[in-house]
């Protein structure tokens, strides 16, 4: 029915051929020269993709700008750098004389062509007050893991000439839910029971490779077998902890602000993660199978340590 209702392309008769019929002409035509295709690195994609998305959202939604909540962690740092990247791209386009970008920027700022900035001190006070308010209409980094965000910050430090970003790379990730003292800083990784690098691996296995608890355990035995001791017990515990906590919190993704779709491992619920949002969080069959196999497997890390000593 849809095809029948679609408008047909018009057919126009012309008294001449529009395609070559002479073999000599075809063979005598120079072929298009090959050229090298340049693919952006993941860090460049994070710098360019969300930045263009933010600018497109800004101009098409007819709003007048963004404000960025800053907590001082790697997430707010990455978000601020992406907004900075957007500003760089807009500035470069304006300097090249792109009339559409210039017109959009003037409309967004609400300033006529002959205007000059004023009331800067008052505007700065307002900006500082608004920074303490948490509001999220869009989420440019929700589909990007912390591991990839750190790589992006390291890239931006050199490419954007922002040496201050190095201090964010060494900062301990913290939700700041407990008071910070000279001897204590609440650490996300300690509270979660796993590192962000491990979470990144879990995310790829769950979303990209479509692994459940048991399949994840089998793959990690091969990947992490020499890293954890005792191997099978530590991996089994981490796998069960991840899937238990994911199942308990999966439903929250259905109400979170939609994020920029940057990677296939994205947990964003909006069209990209179509798995159920309600699970039996204890996974009785899968966890029992994991425990059964874990008891039979030898501690690979111990075996490899003994092999190194023998050598």
Quickly list DSSP for the chain. Answer: -HHHHSPPPP----SS-SS---HHHHHHSPPPPP-PPPPPPHHHHHHHHHHHHHHHHHHHTT---------SSHHHHHHHHHHHHHHHHHHHHHHTT-HHHHHHHHHHHT--TT-----HHHHHHHHHHHTTS---S-BTTTTS-HHHHHHHHHHHHHHTT-GGGHHHHSSPP----S---SS----HHHHHTS-HHHHHHHHIIIIIS---HHHHHHHHHHHSTTTSSSHHHHHHHHHHHHHHHHHHHGGGGGTSPPB----TT---TTTT--S-S---TT-HHHHHHHHHHHHHS--HHHHHHHHHHH-
> Given this model, what pLDDT does residue 256 score?
82
Q: Mean pLDDT score of the chain, rounded to an integer?
A: 83
Measuring CA to CA, which residue among 144, 125, 119, 137 is closest to residue 49?
A: 144
Distance CA 246, CA 157 (A): 33
> Given this model, what pLDDT does residue 205 score?
96
Each residue's pLDDT tens digit, 57-115: 999 888 888 878 777 889 999 999 999 999 999 999 999 999 999 999 988 887 666 66
Q: Taking phi first (over 0 means left), then psi (-120 to 50 degrees means alpha), and beta for anything else, what does residue 47 get?
A: alpha
Measuring CA to CA, which residue among 260, 52, 257 is closest to residue 136?
A: 257
> Given this model, what pLDDT does residue 119 score?
54
Each residue's pLDDT tens digit, 9-63: 888 888 877 666 666 555 665 666 777 888 999 999 999 999 999 999 999 888 8
pLDDT(155) > 70 = yes
pLDDT(140) > 60 = yes
Measuring CA to CA, which residue among 155, 147, 123 is closest to residue 198?
A: 147
Distance CA 236, CA 156 (A): 37
Q: Is the peptide bond before 198 cis (omega within 30 degrees of 0)?
A: no
119: how many CB neighbours lie within 10 A of its CB? Answer: 8
Measuring CA to CA, which residue among 105, 100, 200, 106 is closest to residue 150?
A: 200
Each residue's pLDDT tens digit, 239-275: 999 999 999 999 988 888 888 988 889 888 877 788 8
Helix 146-159 to helix 42-60 angle (10° resolution) is 90
Please count the CA atoms within 13 angstroms of the CA of 205 that sit on its side-chain side: 21
CB distance 109 to 19 below 8 Å = no
Each residue's pLDDT tens digit, 267-306: 888 777 888 889 999 999 999 999 999 888 877 666 555 5
> Given this model, what pLDDT does residue 134 score?
44
Rg (CA), the chain: 27
Enter the pTM of the model: 0.76
Each residue's pLDDT tens digit, 182-217: 888 889 998 899 999 999 999 999 999 999 999 999
**pLDDT band of 128, cuts 50, 70, 90:** very low
> Given this model, what pLDDT does residue 32 score?
64
């Amino acid at each position: 029915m849809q095809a029948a209702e679609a408008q047909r392309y018009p057919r126009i008769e012309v008294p001449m051929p529009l395609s070559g019929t002479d073999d000599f002409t075809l063979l005598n035509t120079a072929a298009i020269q090959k050229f090298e295709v340049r693919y952006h690195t993941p860090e460049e994609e994070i710098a360019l993709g969300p930045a263009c998305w933010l600018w497109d959202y800004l101009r098409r939604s007819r709003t007048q700008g963004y404000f960025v909540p800053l907590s001082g962690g790697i997430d707010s740092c990455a978000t601020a750098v992406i907004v900075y990247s957007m500003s760089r791209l807009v500035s470069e386009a304006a300097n090249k004389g792109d009339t559409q970008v210039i017109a959009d920027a003037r409309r967004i700022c609400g300033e006529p062509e002959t205007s000059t900035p004023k009331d800067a001190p008052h505007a700065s006070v307002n900006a500082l007050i608004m920074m303490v308010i948490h509001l999220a209409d869009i989420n440019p980094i929700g589909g990007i893991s912390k591991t990839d965000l750190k790589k992006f910050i390291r890239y931006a430090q050199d490419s954007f000439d922002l040496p201050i970003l190095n201090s964010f790379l060494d900062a301990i990730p913290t939700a700041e839910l407990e008071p910070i003292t000279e001897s204590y800083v609440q650490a996300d990784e300690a509270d979660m029971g796993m590192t962000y690098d491990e979470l990144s691996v879990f995310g790829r296995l769950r979303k990209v490779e479509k692994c459940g608890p048991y399949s994840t355990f089998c793959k990690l035995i091969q990947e992490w077998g020499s890293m954890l001791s005792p191997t099978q017990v530590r991996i089994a515990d981490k796998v069960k902890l991840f899937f238990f906590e994911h199942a308990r919190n999966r439903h929250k993704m259905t109400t979170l602000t939609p994020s920029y779709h940057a990677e296939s491992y994205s947990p964003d619920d909006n069209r990209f993660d179509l798995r159920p949002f309600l699970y039996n969080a204890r996974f009785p069959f899968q966890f029992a199978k994991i425990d059964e196999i874990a008891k039979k497997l030898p501690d690979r890390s111990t075996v490899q340590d003994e092999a190194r000593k023998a050598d």
